[in-house]
């Protein structure tokens, strides 16, 4: 895509590029390049480096500590961040619950929670899906019954990413069952993970990692002041959060970085074999992904412009979710094809400095989820049909 940068934007690009070159710690850079899972302290250390630079709240309003960047500056930052292969921020605080709190929360909630979210002093988890409510989220069963100065929460949330590290969790809970529509009677609550009655049970994924969990709530007391906005309006607030999550699911520049590495690999002769660039069928598939990726970049720029003008992402976030996750999976498949039998998943924990070939299958397995989380791609097509096509 051709984007005309002003002199100011070019200077900003150089500043961002230098920041990632000079401030990304070597141990974190090595872990990212080797595909080693970042430890929680490494992730938080990096986010706090961003915070000290003033670059943690990329899309936050300036009055809450945001960057006040233009759409082009956000484009530049995302691009340089991906090409430096720097860690993505953990989205649950900075990119999900933070925007809900500064949009719908009380002044007291903003003062209490936003500074720590921005500074990555607390780790947040997302409590949406349940054992019987995933893509059909409106069928959620977890209850929070009013009991004077608090609510009593009972139920289970599942697929809770990194919930084993969380200090707080934001949840959609049912506060009323006497409603005309299932989407009514749902509220948005902030729950301290240290509260008595909370149990976290690991779920081990196909790649052998403990990434997700079930979180059980047994008569957990939640102070009334931890209800965000109005009781029964949680579905409205949760949709705003999911639109931000779907927008973040595109990973356009991350995919471009991965595709660049794959193209470079294709041009090399590995272990005496002819380079994959000589395989016209392989290169045809690689070129097809590049075309899809370019169209995705256009959609993301339009969405970025909408966010920068103060709007929440609209139905276009569903386009980003669908196409972005399909591209991620297509790159995974082509990477496995390039690795051949070296992709056999015999080792779940690579060491720093070890090549990524042997874990390409593990990445493939893990990323089968990306077309499901944040609302399955089938659900996104229904949203597009209703809100864009008017069907």
| 125 vs 169: CA distance, rounded Å | 5
| 371 vs 82: CA distance, rounded Å | 21
Taking the mean position of all CA atoms in its chain, how far away is CA 157?
Answer: 18
Q: What is the pLDDT of residue 354?
A: 46
Q: What is the pLDDT of residue 133?
A: 84
What Cα–Cα distance (Å) separates residue 56 from each residue in 47, 52, 60, 118?
Answer: 7, 8, 9, 6
299-326 confidence digits (pLDDT tens): 777 766 666 566 655 666 777 888 889 9
Q: Which of 50, 129, 140 lies closest to 95 in space, CA to CA?
A: 50
Which residue stretches of the chain have pLDDT < 70?
A: 1-4, 241-250, 303-316, 345-358, 374-375, 391
Residue 91: CA count within 13 A, CB half-sphere:
18
Q: What is the pLDDT of residue 1?
A: 45
94-115 confidence digits (pLDDT tens): 999 999 999 999 999 999 999 9
| 134 vs 140: CA distance, rounded Å | 8
Q: How many helices (H) and strands (E) does the chain have?
A: 13, 8
| 124 close to 112: Cβ distance less than 8 angstroms | no
Domains and CATH numbers, the chain: 7-89 (no CATH), 124-232 (2.40.110.10), 249-387 (1.20.140.10)
**Contacts of residue 383, Cβ cutoff 8 Å, sequence gap at least 6:** 315, 318, 375
Taking the mean position of all CA atoms in its chain, how far away is CA 25?
Answer: 22
Structure tokens at 158: 């599942």
Strands (E), 268-340: none
Reported as type and span, the H/E element at residue 377 is helix 377-387
Give the number of other CB atoms < 10 A from CB of residue 95: 21
Helix (H, G, I), strand (E, B) or coil at 199: strand
Known catalytic residues are: 245
What Cα–Cα distance (Å) separates residue 52 from each residue in 13, 29, 48, 101, 103?
Answer: 19, 19, 6, 22, 24
| 210 vs 161: CA distance, rounded Å | 9
Global confidence as pTM: 0.84
Structure tokens at 122: 């607390």
The bridge status of strand 150-157 relative to strand 124-127 is: unpaired
Q: What is the pLDDT of residue 295?
A: 86
């Amino acid at each position: 895509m051709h984007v005309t940068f002003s002199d100011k934007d070019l200077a900003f690009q150089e500043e961002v590029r230098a920041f990632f070159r000079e401030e990304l710690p070597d141990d974190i850079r090595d872990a990212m390049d080797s595909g080693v899972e970042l430890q929680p302290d490494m992730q938080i250390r990096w986010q706090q480096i961003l915070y000290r630079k003033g670059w943690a709240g990329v899309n936050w309003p300036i009055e809450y500590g945001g960057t006040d960047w233009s759409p082009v500056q956000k484009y530049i930052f995302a691009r340089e961040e991906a090409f430096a292969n720097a860690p993505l921020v953990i989205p649950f605080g900075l990119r999900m619950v933070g925007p809900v709190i500064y949009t719908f929360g009380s002044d007291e909630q903003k003062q209490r929670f936003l500074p720590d979210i921005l500074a990555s002093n607390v780790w947040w988890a997302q409590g949406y899906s349940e054992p019987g409510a995933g893509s059909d989220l409106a069928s959620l069963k977890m209850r929070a019954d009013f009991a004077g100065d608090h609510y009593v929460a009972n139920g289970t949330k599942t697929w809770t990413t990194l919930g084993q590290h969380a200090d707080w969790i934001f949840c959609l809970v049912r506060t009323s069952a006497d409603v005309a529509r299932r989407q009514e009677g749902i509220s948005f609550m902030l729950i301290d993970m240290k509260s008595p009655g909370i149990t976290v049970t690991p779920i081990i994924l196909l790649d052998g990692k403990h990434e997700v969990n079930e979180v059980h709530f047994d008569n957990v007391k939640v102070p009334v002041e931890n209800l965000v906005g109005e009781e029964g309006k949680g579905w409205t607030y949760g949709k705003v959060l999911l639109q931000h999550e779907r927008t973040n699911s595109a990973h356009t520049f991350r995919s471009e970085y991965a595709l660049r590495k794959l193209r470079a690999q294709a041009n090399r002769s590995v272990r005496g074999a002819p380079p994959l660039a000589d395989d016209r069928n392989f290169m045809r598939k690689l070129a097809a992904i590049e075309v899809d990726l370019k169209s995705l970049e256009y959609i993301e720029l339009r969405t970025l412009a909408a966010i920068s003008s103060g709007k929440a992402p609209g139905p276009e976030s569903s386009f980003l979710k669908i196409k972005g996750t399909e591209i991620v999976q297509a790159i995974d498949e082509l990477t496995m094809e390039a690795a051949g039998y070296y992709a056999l998943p015999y080792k779940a924990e690579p060491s720093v400095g070890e090549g990524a070939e042997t874990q390409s299958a593990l990445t493939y397995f893990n990323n089968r989820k990306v077309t499901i989380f944040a609302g399955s791609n089938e659900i996104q097509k229904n949203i597009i049909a209703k809100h864009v096509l008017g069907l």
